[in-house]
Amino acid sequence: MTTRRTVIKAVGAGTVASGLSTPASGVSGAPRAARTDVLVVVEKSNHSVSFYDAVTGERQETIRLPEYPHEMVVDSRGRFAYVGHYGVRMASTVGEGGSAVFVVDLAERTLARTIDTRPFNRIHGMGIDRHDRLYALSEEKAVLLGFDAPSTDTAPTRAVPTQGVKTHLFALSRDGERAYVTGLLSHTVSLVRPHDASVAPVLVTPGLLPESSCLSRDEKTLFVGARKSSALVAVDTRTMKVRRTKRVGGDPLRVYMIDDERLLVTDIAAKTLTAYSTDLRPLRTLHLNGTPSAVTLHPGRPLAYASLLDTNEIAVVDLNRFTVTHTFATHSEPDAAVLLAR
């Protein structure tokens, strides 16, 4: 068991299980400088969450979970991570899926407990606001669940309908008062009020198969990846009208804000990371050796950690030079991750 350290800052992108120590993973070209940042990675086809030294790639510990955990967020103290139990491998997989949120104790590196969300199933999108209130999205029921005190809640404390179909992910305002929910089959983004179900959702169609989105730093613009339209779309968050659409080609799976002026987009068809300006101009493209799914951004350094689904690796990307500095091995199908920056 590794020595525990105090978490200074955590950045993320929520059954019975046990913490299992595992051997160190391989690492390709990693610098050997001593650091203590830890990357916590959901490995969906290994049905686990693992802890890695973010520089050397040493695998420190693995926590086994029920089949196919997917999205994950962490609280502001870096004490608990919340993992959604999707319960199936992919969005196209038929099945009831899971109905739970797993609460992972990041200090003890154990599964602390499980929150039962039945009858809400296929729990996928996860979010947490600045008040440490948790939100979890039921893809099957198209309902956004809320947990006002997730470290102790035993069930959702609120729920709001989204009016989308096959609701997969969402972007959350910092205060938790607005959520922008993507519907894979309705091809919509729904603006919902998580704390006031009396307010009807407002919907927009940004393109075909919108999956991921992110808010600009001032929260006035929502950037959406419309996968089947091969487009990056800017939506006005007040009017819910499309401001601008940029055909980007490929399959824009995930969209992130790097800073006030740049976006980062993963393309799983072209196997690339591309930086765009906020007016949707392409800036730089990096070709990867694997298929990038989720990306985790370092809070204090120009680094991104890209999960490569098919090669079972994390690629560490220098965002200034836009190059891969090194990679390290993970268990099967690394996906969402959070960085515990020390």
Band (pLDDT 50/70/90 cuts) for residue 48 is very high
Res 3: pLDDT: 35
Q: Residue with structure tokens 């990096």?
A: 286
29 has a pLDDT exceeding 90: no
Q: Are 222 and 214 in contact (CB under 8 A)?
A: yes
User: What local confidence, expressed as pLDDT, does residue 265 receive?
Assistant: 98
* pLDDT tens track for 99-133: 999 999 999 999 999 999 999 999 999 999 999 99
7 contacts: CB under 8 Å, gap ≥ 6: 77, 78, 79, 106, 107, 340, 342
- For 167-199, how does the pLDDT look when each residue is reduced to its tens digit (9 = 90+)? 999 999 999 999 999 999 999 999 999 999 999
Q: What is the pLDDT of residue 238?
A: 96
Residue of 15 and 301 predicted with greater confidence: 301
Q: What is the pLDDT of residues 87-99, one digit of tens each?
A: 999 898 999 999 9
**What's the pLDDT at 51?**
98
